[in-house]
Amino acid sequence: MKHTPAAASRFDPYSPLSGAIQVVVTGALTLIDPSAFRPDTRRVARGALSAATGVLVGAVWNHGMRQAMAEHAAQASESAERVQHQDASEPGRDSGASGAEDSKLAGTGAAIGIGGAMGVLTYGWMLLGEKIDAGIHRSLANRGVRHPRVVMALGAAGLTWVLFEVDRRTRDDDGEAPAAGEAPAS
């Protein structure tokens, strides 16, 4: 099996430290019983987490779009220069500047839309997740498990570790996942 090389940074998502943090956080959060909170508290928590998710996803999307535009700026500049040389006979026409501004506005609009959609989706998943959580808790309690939250936390932590390891081991040296149908590097 392929092992990821030593982490280049402490923020490497495939480092064993990152995996351990994910496992501990997942287990600790699973210990919290959402049904123990008042409905208003759950609604506020859902809303806050959904809003934070939407803002984060939108910001990451916008950052990615800006990175992509920066990488292609040289190509766009070169193309704009060619067009301007071709359109030199038409005074007052500037084809390059307005295209870049339109791209920035479109990228920001897409980021806001995707962030908003992810916020709404997160809220819906949290509603569903609370129902699933309550069902698992109830099922374990009905079967005589004395501490169902601890069992659920251990199960969630174990599943998180397995998924982390599968993802980490299927990545290549650059952290890229194999293409569909391609076997992981070994």
Tens digit of pLDDT for each residue in 102-153? Answer: 566 667 888 889 999 999 999 999 999 999 999 999 999 999 999 999 999 9
At CA 12, angle to CA 8 and CA 14, rounded to 5? 115
Kindly indicate the confidence band of residue 67, based on its pLDDT and cuts at 50, 70 and 90.
confident
Q: Quick check: 176 pLDDT over 60?
A: yes
Closest Cα to residue 173, out of 28, 54, 14, 52?
14
The answer to whether the CB of 61 falls within 8 A of the CB of 69 is no
pTM, full prediction = 0.62
Q: What are phi and psi of 157, to 5 degrees?
A: -65, -45
Cα–Cα distance measured from residue 63 to residue 115, given in angstroms and rounded to the nearest whole number: 12
Average pLDDT of the residues in 54-69: 81
| Per-residue model confidence (pLDDT) at position 42 | 94
| Per-residue model confidence (pLDDT) at position 65 | 76
139-165 confidence digits (pLDDT tens): 999 999 999 999 999 999 999 999 999
Instruction: List the alpha helices (DSSP H) in the chain.
Output: 16-31, 39-71, 73-86, 95-142, 148-169
Q: How far is CA 41 from the centre of its chain?
A: 25
Q: What are phi and psi of 165, to 5 degrees?
A: -65, -40
Cα–Cα distance measured from residue 134 to residue 30, given in angstroms and rounded to the nearest whole number: 12
Q: What is the DSSP string of 128-146?
A: HHHHHHHHHHHHHHHTT-S
Q: What percent of the chain has pLDDT over 70?
A: 65
37 DSSP assignment: S
Rg of the chain over Cα atoms, rounded to whole angstroms, equals 24
Q: What percent of the chain has pLDDT over 90?
A: 48
Cα–Cα distance measured from residue 22 to residue 29, given in angstroms and rounded to the nearest whole number: 11
The answer to whether the CB of 110 falls within 8 A of the CB of 65 is yes
Average pLDDT of the residues in 13-34: 91
